Amino acid sequence: MIEVYCPPPYFVPTGDPIGGANFTSLATGLNFALLGWKAFQSEIVACENRLESRVLSSSASLDESDKAFFVSLCIWFLNMFKGYRAAAWKVSYFLAVIGMACGVAMLFEGIASPYGLILMLPLTMRVFITWIPLYGLIAWMRIGTSIMKTLSKYRKAQAGIKSFALEAGKQVSDVDKRS
């Protein structure tokens, strides 16, 4: 048995597990999940577009040296955001599956249908509220650590050019002198 949080005023059992009302419940649950999914997708795409245009307009007002760093930082950020979006898709799929599972559960439990929509609401909200900030937080942590890691890796690598040039130069000169 799947336990679903149901506020008491909306919990209306019919006691008829195969009544038409229960199929409506399944359809309503699924429909609601799909609507949420669609809205979520379009919001993320819009957010990404807003971000992209903000990046371009902001970079135009910076001076040259800052601009380069800012541009590469933003490219990183956009890439990470795309990663976040991919993760968000997974959440929305999860949402749709939950909608279906909930509808099926309601069907078997014999919970009344027109209220399926209302029953779905706290559950859906819970998924949104729990998962989205978590993914956001993970995405920001990944951005931070990836920038720090990459910068330190390049700093070390750039410092390695000098020692490589000296060592290889010495190797070539020594052979020159011997010959």
Partner 1 sequence: MPSKRNEKELDNYRQTVERLAELDSSEVFSNGRPEHAAIIFSTFLKHAKDRVVIFCQNLSREVFDDPCVLSNLESALDRKVKVEILTQESPAATNFLAKEKSWKEQGLPISLKTAAKGSPVAEVNANFAVADGKAYRFEPKRVKVEAFACMNNPEAAADLVNLFGKMYRAVA
Residues that bind partner 1 (CB under 8 A): 64-65, 67-69, 71-72, 75, 150, 154, 157-158, 160-162, 164-166, 168-169, 171-176
- Between 83 and 110, CB nearer to partner 1: 83
SS (H, E, C) 54-118: HHHHHHHCCCHHHHHHHHHHHHHHHHHHHHHHHHHHHHHHHHHHHHHHHHHHHHHHCECCCCHHH
Work out how close the CB of 70 gets to partner 1 at its nearest, in angstroms, rounded to a whole number.
10
Pull the structure tokens for residue 127.
């998924």
Instruction: For the CB of residue 171, give the shortest distance to partner 1 in the complex, in Å.
Output: 5
Nearer to partner 1, 141 or 168 (CB): 168
Instruction: Say whether 179 sits in a helix, a strand or coil.
Output: coil
Shortest Cβ distance from residue 119 to partner 1 (Å)?
40
Which residue lies nearer to partner 1 by CB, 3 or 176? 176
Q: Dihedral of the CA atoms 164, 165, 170, 175 (nearest 10)?
A: 100
Least CB distance to partner 1 at residue 121 (A)? 37
